[in-house]
């Protein structure tokens, strides 16, 4: 498929919905899916109409062809691929309304997005809402660094999302993960400028919100205001748990590592006792430079501390010659291993097993750790009946303790490795 520009413009095209075939100028032409047979009642199958409208748009010889999907209608579609090659390299998918999100996948499953470029959306560029098994790859997303609320990719109430090989430069989060999201895998992301990769914010206005089983790896942040961030509001409920950040490079990001349970988007936020629980977070092999002195900020709730926080091989130096980075570490319980720069004093040192036998380091009654010399990274260990040593990926840990390994693998698709240790 030839790359094309998916460019959402804030124009008054809505008023032209009855002139879908009209030529706005000699170089712009609009193709309305309704004029190609789409009904838009949520009952009739509009797949062929969308396909026909796309083919007309793709084969248009004008400079700026636009495929138009009217607002206020519900279109029932079967799996559909918009293929090239197209005659124009400046194709527009036009949205109407006030500050629309550029591209939304909602109530869908088994979706694959590949090879698109998104530019200057008036709000979020891409949103996955109430969807499962979505794979987004080889995308480019860009907006000015001072453009507010222009998140690159926003995920909410969605599961089994894979995001990889994407270049994102915006004025807000490169990727944001919100309530109801689980089993999110993010890798090979080039982020900057922007606000980094954020889990949250969660728990605004006392809401119960959850995010779990998130794996972020092989990401570079360049000139971002944050790196990897977990942010929750005071007074909220729920949890953010089973989260891994590994092989991250910070190139002058202001705050490369953040957990903030006191997030406040305005000036006046009152102190409250309840909080969203943050637990089971692994930071592994994070390196580079910080543009701010405080490179690691763990600001956790006194009433509900962050638990099971693990750091391994962290080296974050200052961008200023002769200056050192530092950390904030409030109400955190966890372990550390390897070189940690800056020092994070609230985490206890984890030691390798002695020659007299492997030693398990307990974090909670149901989760234990083993540091293994032959492994590239720290991995959780669990002991189960009839299988004295079993090695499980981080996102399998909580359930592996409760269920047999084979049964768990079949039910959840998590791979269990035997005989290591």
pLDDT at 401: 37
pLDDT band at 402 (very low <50, low <70, confident <90, very high): very low
pLDDT at 1: 34
**98-350 CATH:** 2.160.20.10
Least confident of 37-41, 213-217, 264-268, 385-389: 385-389
pLDDT at 94: 56
pLDDT at 386: 34
Separation CA 134–CA 163 (nearest Å): 8
pLDDT at 268: 66
Q: Give the tens place of pLDDT for each residue, 228-277.
A: 999 998 889 999 999 999 999 999 999 999 999 988 766 666 777 788 99
Catalytic site positions: 195
Q: Which of the pair, 292 or 60, is modelled with greater confidence? A: 292
* pLDDT tops 50 at residue 7: no
pLDDT at 320: 93
pLDDT band at 26 (very low <50, low <70, confident <90, very high): low
Q: Which of the pair, 393 or 133, is modelled with greater confidence? A: 133
Q: Mean of the pLDDT values across residues 163-169?
A: 97
Q: Mean of the pLDDT values across residues 142-169?
A: 95
Please say whether the beta carbons of 245 and 284 come within 8 A. yes
pLDDT at 266: 63
Highest mean pLDDT among 203-207, 286-290, 404-408: 286-290
* pLDDT tops 90 at residue 39: yes
Tell me the pLDDT of the chain averaged across its residues: 78
pLDDT at 318: 96
* pLDDT tops 50 at residue 376: no
Q: Give the tens place of pLDDT for each residue, 81-128.
A: 777 778 777 666 655 555 678 889 999 999 999 998 898 888 899 999
pLDDT band at 34 (very low <50, low <70, confident <90, very high): very high
Domain residue spans of the chain: 1-97, 98-350, 351-421
* pLDDT tops 60 at residue 411: no
Q: Mean of the pLDDT values across residues 300-310?
A: 92
Least confident of 90-104, 308-322, 345-359: 345-359
């Amino acid at each position: 498929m030839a790359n094309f520009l998916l460019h959402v413009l804030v124009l008054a095209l809505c008023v032209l919905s009855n002139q879908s075939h009209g030529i706005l100028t000699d170089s712009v032409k609009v193709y309305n899916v309704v004029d190609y047979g789409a009904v838009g009642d949520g009952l009739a199958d509009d797949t062929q109409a969308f396909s026909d409208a796309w083919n007309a748009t793709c084969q248009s010889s004008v400079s700026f062809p636009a495929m138009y999907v009217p607002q206020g209608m519900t279109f029932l579609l079967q799996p559909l691929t918009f293929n090239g090659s197209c005659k124009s390299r400046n194709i527009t998918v036009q949205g109407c309304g006030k500050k629309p999100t550029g591209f939304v996948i909602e109530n869908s499953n088994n979706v694959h997005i590949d090879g698109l470029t998104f530019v200057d959306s008036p709000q979020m560029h891409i949103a996955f809402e109430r969807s499962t098994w979505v794979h987004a790859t080889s995308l480019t997303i860009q907006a000015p660094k001072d453009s507010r609320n222009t998140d690159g990719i926003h995920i909410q109430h969605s599961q089994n999302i894979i995001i990889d090989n994407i270049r994102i430069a915006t004025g807000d989060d490169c990727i944001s993960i919100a309530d109801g999201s689980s089993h999110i895998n993010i890798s090979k992301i080039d982020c900057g400028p922007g606000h980094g990769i954020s889990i949250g914010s969660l728990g605004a206005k006392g809401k119960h919100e959850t995010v779990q089983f998130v794996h972020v790896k092989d990401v570079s942040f360049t000139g971002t205001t944050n790196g990897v961030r977990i942010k929750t509001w005071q007074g909220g409920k729920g949890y953010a748990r089973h989260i891994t950040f590994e092989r991250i490079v910070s190139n002058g990001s202001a705050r490369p590592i953040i957990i903030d349970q006191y997030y406040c988007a305005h000036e006046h936020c009152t102190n409250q006792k309840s909080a969203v629980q943050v637990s089971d977070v692994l930071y592994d092999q994070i390196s580079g430079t910080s543009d701010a002195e405080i490179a690691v900020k763990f600001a956790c709730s006194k009433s509900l501390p962050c638990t099971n926080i693990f750091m391994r091989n962290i080296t974050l130096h200052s961008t200023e010659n002769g200056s050192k980075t530092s950390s904030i570490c409030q109400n955190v319980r966890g372990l550390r291993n390897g070189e940690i720069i800056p020092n994070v004093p609230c985490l206890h040192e984890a030691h390798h097993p002695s020659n007299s036998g492997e030693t398990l380091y307990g974090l909670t009654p149901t989760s234990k750790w083993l540091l293994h010399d032959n492994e590239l990274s720290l991995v959780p260990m669990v002991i189960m009946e009839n299988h004295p040593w079993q090695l499980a990926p981080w996102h399998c840990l909580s359930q592996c303790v409760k269920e047999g390994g084979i049964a768990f693998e079949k039910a959840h698709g998590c791979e269990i490795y035997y005989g290591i240790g």
